[in-house]
Structure 1
């Protein structure tokens, strides 16, 4: 059984891979059958390409977990997104993700974002 501490460490390792742009290392954190529901694709490669597009558009982007809640084989993560310019007074963008964990690795992901300027939103990433 995966512990709360194990899942929190897994999420933090994934975010560090993103923040340090070590995308290849993140592949090992995902099962071979990993499925991203927002991207509608199996495997980590589509997610890696999405990360590459995102950092090309926003070179200073970083994600920082604010809350990690674990229940059984699921983890809910609320993260702030830094490095994307928002209008004065607006709150920074946030990501809300739910992961299913299998054998200590990410097996599935669902996600949504809020507070993104129109040109920086996840919808734009998926359309590009």
Structure 2
């Protein structure tokens, strides 16, 4: 998934996420919501790259800790200020079916952390 995001391969979302994928943090359903979220992040952080720091797999769950590197809104941002995320995915039939997560994305952009 992160390779597709980093490469801006939006078409890959169809093969990575289930048709009824649920993002609990965003309160959205479906692959189209993934593409919309990815487009939004790419617009907010030109050149964004998600770096996987840790990944743990247990049965149908995958927990991932990542950091984001890029430029915020076209203005340079010190990389130490860029967001980190903790996400838990549920996998069903080889595709991501659900996502829960917490991110410091809003805090890095001057807001508060988001959770779900």
Q: Taking structure 1 as the reference length, what is the TM-score of the superposition?
A: 0.74
Query: What SS class does the counterpart of residue 53 from structure 2 fall into?
Result: strand
Task: In structure 1, list runs of 5 or more residues that go unmatched.
Answer: 1-13, 124-128
Query: What SS class does the counterpart of residue 8 from structure 2 fall into?
Result: coil
Q: Give 1:113-128 correspondences, 5 Å limit.
A: 113-114=103-104, 116-119=107-110
Query: Cα RMSD over matched residues?
Result: 2.3
Report the Cα distance in structure 2 between the residues aligned to 1:66 and 1:29, rounded to whole angstroms.
Answer: 20
Task: In structure 2, list runs of 5 or more residues that go unmatched.
Answer: none
State how many pairs are aligned: 109
Q: Do structure 1's residue 55 and structure 2's residue 42 form an aligned pair?
A: yes
Are the aligned partners of 2:81 and 2:108 in contact in 1 as well (CA < 8 Å)?
Answer: no
79, 88, 92: which is aligned to 1:102? 92
Measured at CA, do residues 56 and 36 of structure 1 come closer, stay the same or move farther in structure 2, by a change above 3 Å? same
Stretches (4+) displaced over 2 A: 84-88, 118-123
More helix by proportion, 1 or 2?
Answer: 1
Q: Taking structure 2 as the reference length, what is the TM-score of the superposition?
A: 0.81
How far apart are 1:114 and its partner, in Å?
A: 2.2
More strand by proportion, 1 or 2?
Answer: 2
